[in-house]
């Protein structure tokens, strides 16, 4: 191999290493942001990790910027696993999608207590629909 080919191979290798380091640092920032958002919304970040799921170009103030989409899983009450997603441009959060928490109304609590007191019937509650998300 000639010196030019060696130099090009070395430059390509350095470019791959630099890209890998930048993506690793961006992923760590996304983990911190996911952890912060889960703490703010009363959720538990499962596995303490996020995964890069999408990369797209987005226009911000007239400039095209690279926006990265990360997926992760959260738990509302410790017994479930719900998907979450966040979008980041550079170090800034640009989008967030978390599962919603359905709160029981006072009427349903009273009705449930009456049913339990009067019979051995177990009341059924409707499950969460996949479209019940914060956007």
Collapsing DSSP to helix, strand or coil, 123 comes out as coil
Query: Could you tell me if 87 and 96 are in contact, meaning their C-beta atoms sit under 8 angstroms apart?
Result: yes
Q: Give me the pLDDT at residue 13, please.
A: 95
Q: Give me the pLDDT at residue 60, please.
A: 85
Strands (E), 9-134: 44-45, 51-60, 63-75, 82-89, 92-99, 133-134
**What's the average pLDDT block by block, 10 residues per block, for the chain (135 residues)?**
88 95 91 91 88 90 92 86 91 87 53 52 52 53
């Amino acid at each position: 191999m000639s010196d030019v080919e060696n130099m090009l191979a070395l430059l390509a290798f350095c470019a791959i290493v630099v890209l890998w380091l930048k993506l690793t640092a961006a992923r760590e920032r996304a983990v911190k942001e996911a952890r912060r958002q889960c703490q703010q919304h009363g959720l538990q970040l499962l596995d303490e990790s996020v995964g890069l799921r999408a990369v797209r170009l987005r226009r911000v103030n007239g400039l095209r910027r690279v926006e990265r989409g990360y997926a992760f899983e959260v738990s509302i009450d410790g017994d479930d696993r719900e998907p979450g997603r966040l979008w980041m441009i550079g170090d800034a959060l640009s989008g967030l999608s978390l599962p919603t928490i359905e709160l029981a109304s006072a009427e349903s609590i009273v009705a449930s207590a009456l049913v339990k007191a009067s019979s051995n019937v177990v009341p059924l509650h409707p499950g969460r629909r996949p479209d019940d998300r914060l956007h």
